[in-house]
Each structure stands twice: as structure tokens, then as C-alpha cells.
Amino acid sequence: MLADQLKNYLDKVGIHYAWVMAAIVFLFTLATSTIASSPQILILPITQAHGWDISDVSIATGLMYFMTAILCPIGAPLMLRIGVINVVLIVILLEIIGLLCTVLAFEKWHLL
């Protein structure tokens, strides 16, 4: 398994396995926070391109934060049930789909 091979290599080099896991979690957190903040960066270009109000885009952003707050307590039990790696992969896939849908949105209701 890759984790065992990585641990053996890191033991030879003198790096504890937890440091690599901490680095991966840090990079994942950095990536997800960047993706989560992208609507705030895109508000003006989206409103100018489609002629929408800022409130239309802000409602979609608020709904995103509300859904995140609702679904956060489900994350830990889901990680226990299907594993951390699977949850991380699902989250990455959903974020990519969400970003693609944001780019392809041409009606106000598409943002919701």
C-alpha cells in the first residue's frame, strides 16, 4: 500500500509520517478556502457580464455558506463510515463541479 511505502521511506529519511499528513491537510484546507472565496472575487465580473444585481449573486453565496454550516456536522460521521480519503475525494469532486457550474451559469436561478 502507498501509505506503508511512504511511511517506510519517511522513516529512512527521518521525517515523521504525521508531518506529511499535516502538510496534506494544510494544502487541502488552503485549496478549499480559495475555492470557497472565489464567488466574492467573481461578484463584479458576473454581475457586469450578465446584467444581474449584486444581491442575486450574494444570495447564492449566502446559501453556499448556509449549506456548509448545515453539512459540517455530517462530515465526521461520514469520515468514520466511508473513510477520510473518500470524503476528501468527494469534496474535491463536488467543488470542481460547483466551479464549472458557476462558469456555465447564464440565468440567475443557475447560481442556486
Provide the percentage of residues in the chain whose pLDDT is more than 70.
98
DSSP 107: S
Full-model pTM = 0.60
CB-side neighbour CA atoms (13 Å) of 112: 6
Per-residue pLDDT tens digits for 39-69 = 778 788 888 888 888 888 888 888 888 888 8
Alpha-carbon gap, residue 10 to 23, rounded angstroms: 14
Mean pLDDT, the chain, integer: 83
Give residue 81's pLDDT band: very low, low, confident or very high (50, 70, 90). very high
- Measured on CA atoms in the order 55, 60, 61, 67, is the torsion positive or negative? positive
Q: Tell me: pLDDT of 105 over 80.
A: no
| The pLDDT value given to residue 96 | 83
The amino acid at 47: T
Provide the H-helix boundaries in the chain.
Answer: 2-13, 17-50, 54-82, 84-104
| The pLDDT value given to residue 64 | 80
Q: Tell me: pLDDT of 16 over 80.
A: yes
